[in-house]
């Protein structure tokens, strides 16, 4: 069901773009395809960012309540719920928005895994199967093979994305365990990105790089346009 309703349609969208793009550059299609995916996910991404901005705004009041009722957890929870209700804020909205995005991102990942093998079973009847597809990106490197520079670019952009995301997270005390964990992700995320992608086809690194770059742009735009509480 997952393949039929997500992976296969996305795969055929990619083939359609490849067939109609002048030059049939696989890498350029990856860039366009990634942009389209990010546009589809824009409302969910916006709600996730909005949740972080609102939480950052309410953080001083949250910490005040936690300090005042630190010995009475039941009252603490009740006061926090009252605070959220006053500001019409659902603390779980950002989490649910991210959760909904995961199946789509997983489907995109599987789309790129299909290339390099038989394509016929994934192609709709009315969609012509491309012959001798050009898997080079701007004639520079084969996207079905690992490419170190593409992996390094993906790791660097991942670092910048996490670093920028940290700036809009609620600012807690420096020794707060959750804050320390968030800061450690600035360095851990790019290392994990490098370790995962270094032996995989570079098409995944290209997709990740473009996606990270678009995330940076989207976060910047949303911070400029959205007022905390506007979408909650």
- Do residues 163 and 186 touch, judged by C-beta distance below 8 A? yes
- What's the pLDDT score for residue 174? 46
What are the structural domain ranges in the chain?
2-225
Report the C-alpha gap between 143 and 147 in whole angstroms.
8
- Helical segments of the chain, H only: 2, 8-20, 26-40, 42-68, 73-86, 93-114, 148-167, 177-197, 202-225
This prediction has a pTM of: 0.78
Task: Name the residue with higher pLDDT: 6 or 168.
Answer: 6
Report the C-alpha gap between 128 and 209 in whole angstroms.
29
State the average pLDDT over residues 11-24. 88
- Least-confidence region, from 3-7, 30-34, 54-58: 54-58
Long-range Cβ contact pairs of 103-110 (< 8 A, separation 24 or more): 103/2, 103/6, 104/6, 104/37, 104/40, 104/41, 107/2, 107/6, 107/7, 107/10, 108/10, 108/37, 108/207, 109/204, 110/3, 110/7
Top-ranked range on mean pLDDT: pick from 2-16, 50-64, 170-184? 2-16
pLDDT at residue 178 above 70?
Answer: no
Parallel, antiparallel, or unpaired: how do β-strands 141-142 and 136-137 relate?
antiparallel
Report the C-alpha gap between 40 and 10 in whole angstroms.
12
State the average pLDDT over residues 173-202. 71
pLDDT tens digits, residue range 195-232? Answer: 988 898 999 999 999 988 998 888 888 777 755 444 44
Task: Name the residue with higher pLDDT: 3 or 231.
Answer: 3
Average pLDDT taken over every residue of the chain: 80
pLDDT at residue 179 above 80?
Answer: no
Sequence-distant (6+) residues with CB within 8 A of 135 are 26, 115, 142, 143, 144, 203
Measured CA distances, 46 to 15, 56, 101, 102, 168 (Å): 29, 15, 12, 15, 13
- CA nearest neighbour of 112 among 14, 210, 38: 14
State the average pLDDT over residues 27-34. 93
Sign of the alpha-carbon torsion through 109, 111, 112, 114: positive
Report the C-alpha gap between 121 and 51 in whole angstroms.
41
pLDDT tens digits, residue range 69-128? Answer: 878 888 888 888 888 888 777 776 666 666 777 788 788 888 888 887 788 888 888 887
Task: Name the residue with higher pLDDT: 156 or 219.
Answer: 156
- Do residues 191 and 155 touch, judged by C-beta distance below 8 A? yes
- What's the pLDDT score for residue 210? 93
- What's the pLDDT score for residue 98? 64
Report the C-alpha gap between 201 and 115 in whole angstroms.
10
Distance of CA 24 to the CA centre of its chain: 26
- What's the pLDDT score for residue 20? 86
Task: Name the residue with higher pLDDT: 14 or 92.
Answer: 14
- What's the pLDDT score for residue 231? 44
- What's the pLDDT score for residue 156? 93
State the average pLDDT over residues 167-174. 55
Top-ranked range on mean pLDDT: pick from 5-9, 28-32, 51-55, 100-104? 28-32
């Amino acid at each position: 069901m997952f393949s039929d309703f997500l992976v296969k349609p996305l795969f055929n969208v990619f083939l359609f773009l490849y067939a109609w793009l002048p030059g049939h550059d696989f890498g350029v299609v990856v860039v366009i395809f990634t942009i389209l995916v990010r546009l589809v996910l824009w409302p969910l991404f916006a709600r996730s960012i909005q949740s972080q901005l609102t939480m950052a705004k309410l953080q001083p009041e949250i910490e005040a309540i936690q300090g005042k009722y630190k010995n009475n957890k039941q009252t603490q929870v009740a006061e926090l719920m009252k605070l959220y209700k006053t500001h019409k804020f659902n603390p779980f909205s950002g989490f649910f928005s991210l959760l909904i995005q995961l199946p789509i991102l997983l489907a995109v990942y599987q789309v790129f895994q299909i290339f390099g093998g038989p394509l016929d079973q994934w192609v709709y009847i009315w969609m012509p199967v491309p012959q001798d597809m050009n898997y080079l990106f701007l004639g520079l490197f084969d996207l079905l093979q690992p490419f170190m520079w593409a992996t390094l670019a993906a790791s660097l952009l991942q670092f910048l994305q996490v670093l920028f995301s940290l700036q809009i997270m609620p600012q807690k005390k420096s020794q707060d365990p959750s804050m320390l964990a968030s800061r450690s992700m600035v360095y851990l995320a790019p290392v994990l990105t490098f370790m995962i992608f270094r032996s995989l086809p570079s098409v995944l690194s290209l997709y990740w790089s473009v996606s990270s770059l678009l995330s940076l742009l989207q976060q910047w735009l949303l911070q400029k346009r959205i007022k905390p509480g506007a979408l909650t």
